[in-house]
Amino acid sequence: MRLYRSFVLLLLLCTVWCVPVYAHHVIGRPAYSWNEDSNTPPSMQVDIQMGDYFITYMVFPAFPKPNEPGRINLYAKRIDNDKPFQGKVSFTVRDDSWFNKREERIGVQTVDDNVFRQRFLFRQPGAYIITATFEDRGVPYIIDFPLQIGPPSRIGVIGALVGIMVAVLIAVNVYRRRHLLGEKVRHAAHDRKKA
């Protein structure tokens, strides 16, 4: 049982301290020298169907970093006739945290060759949520997607929760052992008095 507990604790500690690994070469060329205008693959490409539209968004460069420019490309075409959306798309950003409600407008873009291109520059590393919003025929379309700038934090919310759970389990285990040891000492003292 003790070996099992040690193994589980070791497994949990290894899970908490895992470090993500990023590829730094794509197609044989180092990705760290590419910027948002290079012909790099996007760091993210997502295709979604929302209402009457098929929407694709991409984020460039492959690995967005603080203080380096980036770009979001958004394509929106109608499902029924494949015509691209010709209005304006508004882009906003907010921190990807549970308690942050503050949004900042990045810009409003018009279509350019059937693509809405929004540039960005983040000063601080972190996780952000980009929101693209447009309206067609009185129907609002709101697309949220995550954006990681720089390396992610080593311990996220899940890692912190696992760490807290491990600490609580260890504290309960220590408390129970002390309690049981005290009971054994009391019983031994009681048995000596009887004898």
User: Which residues have C-beta within 8 Å of that of residue 44, sequence separation ≥ 6?
Assistant: 57, 58, 59, 145, 146, 147
Transcribe 97-165 into DSSP letters: STT----EEEEEEE-BTTBEEEEE--SS-EEEEEEEEEEETTEEEEEEEEEEESSPPSS-HHHHHHHHH
Q: Specify the CATH number for 35-149; select among 2.60.40.3340, 3.20.20.100, 3.30.70.330, 2.70.50.60.
A: 2.60.40.3340
Supply the pTM of this predicted model.
0.63
Transcribe 30-94 into DSSP letters: EGGG--TTSSPPPSEEEEEEETTEEEEEEEESSS--TTS-EEEEEEEEETTT-PBP-SEEEEEEE
Residues comprising the chain, all counted: 195
Query: Tens place of pLDDT for every residue, the chain, 195 residues?
Result: 777 778 777 777 767 666 665 555 445 555 555 555 555 667 678 889 999 999 999 888 878 889 989 899 999 999 999 899 999 999 999 988 777 778 899 999 999 989 999 999 999 998 899 999 999 989 999 999 888 898 887 777 788 888 999 999 999 999 998 888 888 888 877 777 776
Domains of the chain, by residue range, sit at 1-19+154-195, 35-149
Other CB atoms closer than 10 Å to residue 132's CB: what's the count?
A: 22
- Give the C-alpha separation, 79 to 175, whole Å: 63
| Chain centroid offset of residue 11 CA | 23
